[in-house]
Structures are given as C-alpha cells and as structure tokens.
Amino acid sequence: MKTAYLIMAHTAPVHLRRLVESLRHPDACIFIHIDAKADAAPFLSLTAPNVRFCDQRDRVRVHWGDYSQLEATYALMRTALAASEHFDRLVLLSGMDLPIRPAAELHRFFEEHATAEFINLVQIPNVAANKPETRLTDRWFRPTLPGKILRRLVRHGVLPSSRDYRPAFGDLKPFAGSQWWALTRACSEHVLAQVAARPAWVRFIKGTSCADETLIQTLVGNSRFAANAVRALTYTRWRPGASSPDMLGREDMLQLLQQPEHPASSVYGGGPIVFARKFDEATSAEALELMRATFADAHPHVTHSAPRTPTLEPELT
C-alpha cells in the first residue's frame, strides 16, 4: 500500500521540513503546494526522491475562505494521481500540521483501514458544527479587484446578497465538514471526475464561502463512498469566536499522545486522532521529540501527569 501526503503550505519552511521528515516512509510520497503569494525559494531545499512540488504553472494564489483553496487541493490531487507510482490513499494536510504517530505507525494505520474514507460530514444546515445554510446562500467574492467591485454592487443593492442554492444543487444533498481528509484513490478520482462533470454546480460553489468545507464533502456524501465515511483524523482546537485555531505546543502533544481519540460526543462522532494542527517553527521541535520519545519507549502510553491544557473538543470548521 502506498500513501500520498498532500501538503498545502504558505509559511514556516523550518516547520515544514520537520513535518516532511516525520512523514518519510518507503511506501509514502509527499506532494507540496506552495501558495503562489509566497516566495517558494525557502521551501525548495526540501529535496528528496519522495518529496515533490506542484509544477510552477499549477501554483495557486490561495485566499482564506475562497475557492482557491480547492484549486490548490485539485493541483495536489492531480499531481499525485498522475505519478508513476500507484498511490492507494491521498491524505490532505496543512503545512502547519504534525503527525502524532511515527511514519511506520501511520503506514500501518492506513493499511488496517484500507477502505475507510476519513472525512468529516454533516448535512447542511447543522448549527452544532457551525455549518449554517448561509454557507450556501450568502454570496462570497474573491478578495481581488473584480471581487471588491462585485461586493460593492451587493452593498448598494445592485446584486442580491443571497441566492437559492437548491436549483444549482439539484439532486445533491449539501454536506459540510472540515477541510482536511484522507481519502482512498477511488474516492479521490470520483471527486475530480464529478468536479469536471458538474461545471454549473462548480460555478455556483465558487461564489460561496468556505467552499473547501462543502464541495468535496458534498460529492463524497452523495456517493457510494459515503458508506465507508468516518470522521477525519486531524485534531484542531478552536476557541469560541476565534478566527483561527489555537497554536499547539509540547503540552498539547503530550495530551494528544495520552488521549488520541476524538470524543464520541463530538459533532462528527468519535474516532482516532492521527494528525494535529497547528504548530509552527517555535512549537514543533519539542512536540516532535516528545512523540518520537513516546513511541521509542517499550510502553505505549506516556506516564507523565496530565498537562494543564483544555479538554479535547471537536473542531467546528
């Protein structure tokens, strides 16, 4: 079994090197997309046979909450699926993630769950998951000059601020979840095929907020692969009202090693935690050393006292 790790990065090249090194395995390859807004030079020293960058022509200027996040995701998926190796699973990660298991354990985990589609799915609307119907009805414009002009037209009542999504969705039930997933090759191919086959629907999605949390989720939720869908593997801690997740560190890694499970009461259900975000260059070195030391020990559990960190909560984006 071979795994393709797809990494979306835009900052923190030192941390990205640590992430890449923690994922290296004979049966894994790492594909990296560097945001076109960022200088790629600091990242290009990550040279190794199993590390590959998206072609310069495929680099996307990525904006938060925008369809461009999906365009970068497609570039990674297509690059991995077109590779000479046959990858059985594609795993989408942020450039600020870390695994909480060594590479050999990750490989074993995916072998043991060969048919599972790890993706968070709830049907829209879902208040508990912070997925209101406005994710689909409210217009969203890319933060470019044309987008700013259109936003002004909405503000002055020239364009309506909302739309009925149901005609565009047709037979599709809308689903949402978090951006990060680990899908089988067959499911990944299905997603890309459906994106190509539904241009009108895709055009509608481009005008919605956080399309990276609805498009792939809707395609998986309306497919035969939904029968194998289980909650995603990435832990993220969000504070109420925060615009971005907490930065994690050594103490958070310690707690994750002690409690590597999403609680069953969470909105997406229980399940294993295999990755966590977000870390940076200041917090990731100690966290990785702790993980490696834990798995080097003959005993599988850390014996330190529990750190003073919040109880693990489900991610709400």
Please give the tally of structural domains in the chain: 1
For residue 291, how many C-alpha atoms fall within 13 Å in the half-sphere facing its CB? 28
* Domain presence at residue 145: no
Are the beta carbons of 118 and 182 closer than 8 angstroms?
yes
Residue 215 lies in a domain: no
DSSP state of 224: G
Residue 133, domain member (yes or no): no
The neighbouring-strand residues paired with 176 are: 122
Q: Is residue 88 part of a domain?
A: yes
Which CATH number does the domain housing residue 57 bear? 3.90.550
Contact 33, 9 (CB under 8 A): yes
Q: What is the pLDDT of residue 171?
A: 94
Domain ranges, residue 60: 3-116+180-202+228-238+246-296
For the chain, 317 residues long, the average pLDDT of each consecutive 10-residue run is: 97 94 96 96 87 94 94 98 97 97 96 98 95 95 87 89 95 97 98 98 96 98 98 92 86 94 94 95 93 75 35 44
pLDDT at 221: 98
